[in-house]
Amino acid sequence: MGEAYLFVSLPLLTLFISMCLNHQAFYGMFQDLVTKLKRPDNISNRKELLFELIRFHASIKKWFLDSAEVYGSFIMILLISTIIYLSCVLFQLDLQLKHIDFRILFLLLAFSISLLTLFLYCFFGKLANESYDKMCGCLYRSNWYELPVELQKCFILMIGNAKHPMFYRGFSVARLDLETFSKIIKSIVTYYMAFKTITQ
Mean per-residue pLDDT, 15-34: 87
More reliable by pLDDT, 8 or 45: 45
* CA 32, 163, 65, 74 torsion-angle sign: positive
**Of 105, 104, 108, 81, nearest to 191 (Cα)?**
81
C-alpha to C-alpha distance for 115 and 138, rounded to whole angstroms: 34
The pLDDT score that the predictor gives to residue 182 is 92
DSSP summary character for residue 159: H
Task: List, for residues 72-84, the tens digit of each pLDDT value.
Answer: 888 888 888 888 8
The pLDDT score that the predictor gives to residue 43 is 67
Mean per-residue pLDDT, 10-20: 85
More reliable by pLDDT, 95 or 142: 95
Give this prediction's pTM.
0.83
> Residue 51's pLDDT band (boundaries 50, 70, 90)?
confident
The whole-chain average pLDDT of the chain stands at 82
Indicate the helix (H) or strand (E) that contains 65.
helix 46-96
Residue type at position 34: V
Mean per-residue pLDDT, 167-196: 86
Least confident of 79-83, 103-107, 159-163: 159-163
